Amino acid sequence: MPNRSRVVLALGALAFGLTATTAPPVVAQPTPAASPDGPFRPKTIVSLGDSITQGVNLPDPGTQAYPYLLAAHYGASVADVAIGGAAAGSERRGDVIRTQLGHVRAPCDLATLNIGTNDIRLMAHGDDTVADYEADVGHIVTALRGTCTRVVVMTVIDNPWNLLATGECAAVWATDVASENAFLRSLAGVTVVDLNADPRMHDQSSFGDPGLLHPGVAGQQYIADDIESAL
């Protein structure tokens, strides 16, 4: 994967972000590490995940997706290496373990991870299990903690009216989201940002696509706000 001197925006123009796309050649630019003597203010951020983190269906993902909102807030460089359709560790092209972790390099002050929606889609088709998801996320978190100063992990947003919950994942959605979120909340050594506990993320006006899967401009700002509050 060729390096470039500036962050290249990943524009995943997917209808619902469920089809894997090519990993963006993005690299966090080296900057001084966050000071341990004051409030945590990351100077290098890497964001892993799926089309939610990519900012699919936003008018301008490079300024409106939450990784870039965090970068603007902290005056940090950012590498948004998320891939539409990604799952934690499945055999699908573009999963976090086989593709995105390779972009995480020191110096890394803050890593964010938002993954789980597409894993439920795989579970619905018998291609993954909750136990697989837990093992894969555990592997990812261990790798991130070994490289980055702080790691933020977000819970999966559980809205029964989204495209997957009302469609192909209807039989497993509620149970599997609950299982994923219980595991994510139990993780040690990371900052867990419980997006599912934010009532704003259960307002349909926070979402920017007909499938109600991808946060719109307001929803992305709410995610950034929740992360900033947690840090």
In this structure, what CATH number is given to the domain that contains residue 92? 3.40.50.1110
What is the tally of structural domains in the chain?
1
Mean pLDDT of the chain: 85
Above 90 in pLDDT, residue 89? no
What is the tens place of the pLDDT at every residue in 164-198?
999 999 999 999 999 999 999 999 999 999 999 99
Is 160 among the domain residues? yes
Is 57 among the domain residues? yes
pLDDT of res. 98: 86
Above 60 in pLDDT, residue 137? yes
What is the tens place of the pLDDT at every residue in 116-127?
999 999 999 998
Closest CA to 80 of 41, 112, 33: 112
Above 50 in pLDDT, residue 56? yes
pLDDT of res. 16: 37
Is 6 among the domain residues? no
Mean pLDDT computed over 79-96: 83
Could you tell me which residues come within 8 angstroms of residue 142 by beta carbon, excluding any fewer than 6 positions away? none
Domain containing 96 equals 44-230
pTM, entire model? 0.83
Give burial (CB, 10 Å; 0-12/13-18/19+) of 125: exposed
pLDDT of res. 75: 97
Mean pLDDT computed over 72-101: 87
Dist CA 45 CA 205 (whole Å): 28
Is 23 among the domain residues? no
pLDDT category, 90, cuts 50, 70, 90?
A: low
Could you tell me which residues come within 8 angstroms of residue 83 by beta carbon, excluding any fewer than 6 positions away? 10, 12, 20, 21, 22, 23, 24, 50, 51, 54, 94, 99, 100
CB atoms within 10 A of CB 117: 27
Greater model confidence, 30 or 114: 114
What is the tens place of the pLDDT at every residue in 12-55?
333 334 444 444 444 344 444 444 456 899 999 999 999 999 99
Give burial (CB, 10 Å; 0-12/13-18/19+) of 168: middle
Is 137 among the domain residues? yes
Is 173 among the domain residues? yes
Is 34 among the domain residues? no
Is 199 among the domain residues? yes
